[in-house]
Structure 1
């Protein structure tokens, strides 16, 4: 049976469904070593406490072997009272230290898990925005939920328990070698069976678990994308196609789930057979050794009990090592973000000015399919530029390049002469801010949501930012003002109010260049126009690139760029473009018709 896949094993299941990297074994080992170094003292204490508990557990077999040996030789004075007292003390010591082992192990696991979560969050937040956008919702969601959940069990239990099991087995083997050296050799009879079974299993398990995790990420991606685009799916009648895709992803994922379960059905019986072989070889060979007077009956008794005690730590090692196979895949997916390194030239680039320039830019999301074609554009400091054009023309893509979210395939986008794509994300965000249609209200107070943009802002500045975007009236009506809880579980805010909170953060962040990608799309036209005028007063003197289908935004702009099929076909002021009777003039007439 070994080596034959089950009939329903599906080799077409995806091994990868993500654009974020999965950490290499070198990266994973380096991170594990780093975690151990951080907590080496806690590891040392855990091992010491465990050694005391294991040593105490071996007192009982030793005492029983001594009593049996005394009976075998016909001793008249057997100190049963003292033996019982010593056993009781050893049992009390074992009980106390086993409890301490569990407590120390749980504490160590929680500390490592907290470090892992913090490291992943810090590293993810520091990733370039373009990398996160390309990764997609499903992959990010599966990493921060499923992978963290799988690692939680490993960090809390698998790592401490595996360490405990190794120390436990080593001490028992050592005690067996000291008590009855010939019996220690008998244990080796089961070793080939255990090694062959484990080698077979662990050669297949890691790749299977990786495919299982990638399959789940594909399921999450398909479901998340369908839910997020629910209205579009319904409008275009794509429901059946999306359901079929989701069912296919679920079938592929469950095929790998069944395969990994099948692997365990081979491993567990192998472990049971090895346990039987250990005890059987100790008893049979031990009996021969007793008959040959190589060991005593007491040594055989103690050795048999110690051999039987080996079952638990060996089973613990294999069980938790198997758990670590799953955890290793999740850990590799989490630490994979550590392999995304900035360009070597990033640190040397500092903008010398505020002018934004795109020079013969080509860009595409997929190889061989450019969205932008030879786009060149100069945006002088303080200019309000409007990007208009039909849907799918490339307006938002061009805006993201100007905001430094993406880097061009050819050509360059510069800020003050420095290439945006080669600058660290933190430096780009200090100069340029992108605000799009997607806004998030974090769980917490309204004050905390605003302080994300500038942590040292006082209440006057917070209210000023809310006033600038027309949100001060509804914010003042909240029961506790700035201290009111908003978001999930708190005061529910409308999509328009969430958009105003995001724009208030923008006012507080105070960048000199803004890219607004339909940032007022969730407001009604009158409110949007009022908000844009308020923003225009607050953002006077700043460079603004506004992307919108509402042409009143273009009417107020200094310069209008008409984007069609990935090219800028017209460039000029509102009056000049209307007078030229081109594409913009047609859009303007259509807007007012």
Structure 2
């Protein structure tokens, strides 16, 4: 029986509009005025120097036709070389500045998004699913980072170049400028057709990728139960279904972009034909010089490169835009945090409180059927209760409610005389400690990792907690003892050691009530018995609720409750339930036969 259990239906984190995301970017740019000004200045200068050679080329043509002297042509040639060199330098500086400014904005956004996620109510994280959360602070950050390095500098620089080149065409002759502008309606129609279709499609693609991640995570989290109940096929089918959805959307994106490219090519053809035609008429009428008429098609053709760059990086830019709206949307989740009353304090040395679950009914948002139906349970002070049942019975949901993660629609969960519905997150953490199979060791020293649960703990208290969970000998063997780095880049730890460190944090937290949601399920079978002894030591003197993965865990509890389809169908001691011959007895027989 696993924490794969009953998962809430997907209710994604907030996604903002493109306009709101643009306002966020503009506000951050105003906080970096010098970087922003330098970026815009170098980009405009680079575009101007790239257009200048075309204008000078027209002067060369007119000089040759008019019989100009060699010195003037030589001066124009020097200006051409200087413009090319200055343009290259300004463009390089612009690309570097755009990347640096983008990196600053991304770092600010990533930090704000991660801080918001860490500060979100646990119930909200459970509601949306970790796939959506991880895809935003992981995949979306990666997509946006790649876009800032490639697509954003290209699109911004090319857009400025298009504007400068258009102004240059009007500078040659306003009639030639109008002829080139005749292509703009075709460009505008292409964008008007593409943008409303592409932005939602990219967002759907990102959501599909998040759903695929959630399907993978849920299967891996409960791999033991998946194998025990022969659910491999069902989980594989779910992952395959989500993967095909991502693939189908990817093909749809590619097809849409291909049609957009065709429309852009038609716009270029229209503009070039108009400029050549109008230039011929003006030249025949003597209303324009050969240099102006020659430079105009070259100037318009100069637009092909930046427009093509925009076109071919627009795919990446759209992905970056979709990721930006999702990341900025996360920041809006901050207002949803609920702050209510505090918990009744429990002093050191005081007896642990009892736990009462009174007629609790719980339904996830958007679900038609409740996960729990009128569940009532009582755990006397200092005693333990184990929850068992098949996958989807509601065990993990009930454990989460007792830990203060979520609020039932009907009924109440009380710790002593305190109703958890009226307690904020900090108050709940003082009353209830929760440990799941999703244990994690953070990067840093072992002492720093343990002090996450008790920032003011002394080394003696840390050692005492480690001794309680049977990790004292292991710590003595570490090269730097409590100062040894663990986590990423540190000491390699197996599942049993990770669980012991998590249990030591539980000891240091001193919460009088403990919820264990299959906290030892990932330990190897050889260390399972020792780890269960460590769990018993860590929970001594506390009121404990177990979600039991192995029935040996349930057997060690004072009482056992069997859940089925969100209801308590049996309750009693191990011996009473085996003698009853009901659901628990059948589970026990199956467990013994498979052991």
* Interval containing the TM-score (normalised by the shorter chain): 0.7 to 0.9
What is the Cα deviation at residue 288 of structure 1?
1.6
Which whole-Å CA distance do the structure 2 matches of 1:502 and 1:19 have between them?
30
Which whole-Å CA distance do the structure 1 matches of 2:51 and 2:551 have between them?
83
Which whole-Å CA distance do the structure 2 matches of 1:167 and 1:343 have between them?
40
What is the Cα deviation at residue 23 of structure 1?
0.6
What is the Cα deviation at residue 180 of structure 1?
1.8
SS in 1 for 2:182: helix
Which whole-Å CA distance do the structure 1 matches of 2:279 and 2:417 have between them?
83
Query: CA 1:185 to 1:85, structure 2 compared with 1: closer, same or farther past 3 Å?
Result: same
Normalised by the size of structure 2, how large is the TM-score? 0.82
SS in 1 for 2:374: strand
1:435–1:517 contact (8 Å) kept in structure 2: yes
Residue aligning to 1:535: 538
1:18–1:214 contact (8 Å) kept in structure 2: no
Residue aligning to 1:295: 288
2:378 equivalent to 1:386: no
SS in 2 for 1:58: helix
Query: CA 1:296 to 1:32, structure 2 compared with 1: closer, same or farther past 3 Å?
Result: same
What is the Cα deviation at residue 304 of structure 1?
3.2
2:13 equivalent to 1:21: yes
1:143–1:333 contact (8 Å) kept in structure 2: yes
Query: What do residues 177-233 of structure 1 show as CA deviations (whole Å, max 9, x unaligned)?
Result: 233221110112212222222222223212322332333334333444444444444
2:186 equivalent to 1:193: yes
1:329 to 307, 312, 322: 322
Query: CA 1:545 to 1:236, structure 2 compared with 1: closer, same or farther past 3 Å?
Result: closer
Residue aligning to 1:83: 76
Residue aligning to 1:480: 480
Deviates more, 1:445-454 or 1:371-380: 371-380
Residue aligning to 1:407: 407
2:113 equivalent to 1:110: no
Query: CA 1:164 to 1:43, structure 2 compared with 1: closer, same or farther past 3 Å?
Result: farther
Which whole-Å CA distance do the structure 2 matches of 1:549 and 1:188 have between them?
71
Residue aligning to 1:14: none
What is the Cα deviation at residue 129 of structure 1?
1.9
What is the Cα deviation at residue 404 of structure 1?
0.8
Q: Which runs of 5+ in 1 are unaligned?
A: 1-16
SS in 2 for 1:24: coil
Which whole-Å CA distance do the structure 2 matches of 1:233 and 1:386 have between them?
24
Query: What do residues 280-315 of structure 1 show as CA deviations (whole Å, max 9, x unaligned)?
Result: 322321222122232222323343333222223333
What is the Cα deviation at residue 570 of structure 1?
8.6
Query: CA 1:95 to 1:500, structure 2 compared with 1: closer, same or farther past 3 Å?
Result: same
1:58 to 51, 56, 59: 51
2:450–2:505 contact (8 Å) kept in structure 1: yes
2:47–2:157 contact (8 Å) kept in structure 1: no
Query: CA 1:367 to 1:444, structure 2 compared with 1: closer, same or farther past 3 Å?
Result: same
Which whole-Å CA distance do the structure 2 matches of 1:550 and 1:77 have between them?
95
Residue aligning to 2:5: none
Query: What do residues 239-258 of structure 1 show as CA deviations (whole Å, max 9, x unaligned)?
Result: 44444444333333222211
Task: Give the total of aligned pairs.
Answer: 569
Which whole-Å CA distance do the structure 2 matches of 1:244 and 1:421 have between them?
38
Which whole-Å CA distance do the structure 2 matches of 1:336 and 1:361 have between them?
33
Which whole-Å CA distance do the structure 2 matches of 1:422 and 1:28 have between them?
35
Residue aligning to 1:363: 362
Residue aligning to 1:468: 468
Query: CA 1:217 to 1:562, structure 2 compared with 1: closer, same or farther past 3 Å?
Result: closer
2:120 to 118, 124, 127: 127
Normalised by the size of structure 1, how large is the TM-score? 0.82
Query: CA 1:361 to 1:229, structure 2 compared with 1: closer, same or farther past 3 Å?
Result: closer
Query: What do residues 446-496 of structure 1 show as CA deviations (whole Å, max 9, x unaligned)?
Result: 344324334454544432332222112112212333343444654332222
2:180–2:271 contact (8 Å) kept in structure 1: yes
Query: CA 1:299 to 1:389, structure 2 compared with 1: closer, same or farther past 3 Å?
Result: closer
What is the Cα deviation at residue 569 of structure 1?
7.8
Residue aligning to 2:271: 278
2:375–2:567 contact (8 Å) kept in structure 1: yes
The residue correspondences of 1:91-490 to structure 2 (distance < 5 A) are 91-340=84-333, 346-354=338-346, 357-365=356-364, 367-376=367-376, 383-388=382-387, 390=389, 394-414=394-414, 420-421=420-421, 423-455=423-455, 457-487=457-487, 490=490
What is the Cα deviation at residue 141 of structure 1?
4.2
Which whole-Å CA distance do the structure 2 matches of 1:116 and 1:160 have between them?
18
What is the Cα deviation at residue 19 of structure 1?
2.4
Which whole-Å CA distance do the structure 2 matches of 1:496 and 1:389 have between them?
22
Which whole-Å CA distance do the structure 1 matches of 2:535 and 2:98 have between them?
57
What is the Cα deviation at residue 407 of structure 1?
1.5
Which whole-Å CA distance do the structure 2 matches of 1:351 and 1:238 have between them?
41
Which whole-Å CA distance do the structure 1 matches of 2:177 and 2:416 have between them?
75
Which whole-Å CA distance do the structure 1 matches of 2:492 and 2:369 have between them?
42
What is the Cα deviation at residue 543 of structure 1?
4.9
1:512–1:543 contact (8 Å) kept in structure 2: yes
Query: CA 1:457 to 1:156, structure 2 compared with 1: closer, same or farther past 3 Å?
Result: farther
Q: Which runs of 5+ in 2 are unaligned?
A: 1-8, 347-352
